[in-house]
Structure 1
């Protein structure tokens, strides 16, 4: 308890600049932890939703029926994301283009793929949301803490210059409170860096799976389109 109180006393007794640095680091740490928890929930949900959709998609269900189920879910207030969002974008464009007699099979497939690529970009933005903030916290927090430490040490030595007794006991408290800023900078940076690296890897894995689905679904649409158009492009 004594150690805890002494740390608190050092923080309270720090100069205004060092206190400001500490406040910035505390705010960055709290915000990054909030975003870390949020990303964990979102990425877990994205994994589960993709597995569930792939099971339904490859179960042999009629694609029109699968699309209608998604439309009903949207009408009930559900938010369609992930693989199902890609499917809906591609299937909607495919259905619209297939009704145009002037469109050949290749143009229909290309239009559907283009729609899915747009949807994939939106999914990428959704999954990567807040990751730049975590990267910024991880890269800048140690330097912000170091700035607070340097400033605190300068403040301590200025006080030492006006002191009648230049002893270690006179300067040690000031240096100690300054070093707390560096410790807080590392405390904010380390979880942010670890979380960013982990989340970036998981997002890349999810995007690769989405990309594979786009290719597989495009192949399926191509076969269906050529069957409808008789492979003649008429």
Structure 2
């Protein structure tokens, strides 16, 4: 590299803001999309992590209350008409159907066990949908961001080659800025995709474990009620 080329290259600003400012409008739009996707992904990751930690604490507290020996009717009354936590709502769905399955004379309506199980399954499915909300976006960011970044890179390199052809000069000072701007798009795509993929897998696993806990509780509760039905 000759002295003049080195001097010109050193004068070029390669900071992220400068690369963004010099980029083509298409590449700029790609960068903006990727940055917004990354910010949104981190928002979902942080919110879901907080929510799942709270859900585990709520499940532990409810399990302690459920197995404390307190009569189930009293526990149900204490929760009130609008239970605050997911395990309480699953329990309330089963208890509500249990009470509605009794006729005025105290006898049970036929098929009570199946209706109780179905009511709790519906409540669990509703809670699972809430837990899984937003995870699809993480999966989409993880799978699409590298290709969006690659598109920005291809477009940027195309513009760089056009600039080289117009300048009729392959000097590094002409080539380097365009290539750097193009590669920044790929870097932003990977920056958005890698955390999204990692945390999608982790949060999906956490959600499955929490929902499995609800299902296990529903099975235990259903077994308790089936004993009373048979008795």
TM-score, length-normalised on structure 2?
0.90
Secondary structure of the 1:159 match is helix
Of 77, 86, 96, the residue aligned with 1:68 is 77
Q: Partner of 2:67 in structure 1?
A: 58
CA contact (8 A) 1:81 1:123 kept: no
Q: Partner of 2:132 in structure 1?
A: 128
Q: Partner of 2:194 in structure 1?
A: 190
Q: How does 1:42-191 map to 2 (within 5 A)?
A: 42-71=51-80, 74=82, 80-99=84-103, 101=107, 103-104=109-110, 107-191=111-195
Distance 1:171 1:207, change over 3 A: same
Q: Partner of 1:34 in structure 2?
A: 43
Counterpart Cα distance in 1 of 2:58 and 2:179: 52
Q: CA RMSD in A?
A: 1.8
Secondary structure of the 1:98 match is coil
CA contact (8 A) 2:14 2:177 kept: no
Question: Deviation of residue 5 (structure 1)?
Answer: 6.0
Q: Paired residues, what number?
A: 219
Secondary structure of the 1:80 match is coil
Asked if 1:224 is matched to 2:202, the reply is no
Distance 1:25 1:48, change over 3 A: same
Distance 1:87 1:102, change over 3 A: closer
Q: Partner of 1:13 in structure 2?
A: 22
Q: Partner of 1:231 in structure 2?
A: none
Deviations 1:148-189 (A, max 9, x none): 000000000011111132223211110011100000001111
Q: Partner of 2:216 in structure 1?
A: 212
Counterpart Cα distance in 2 of 1:116 and 1:26: 41
Q: Which runs of 4+ in 1 moved over 3 A?
A: 2-5
Q: Which runs of 5+ in 2 are unaligned?
A: 1-10
Deviations 1:45-85 (A, max 9, x none): 1100000000000111111111111116x3xxxx6232111
TM-score, length-normalised on structure 1?
0.89
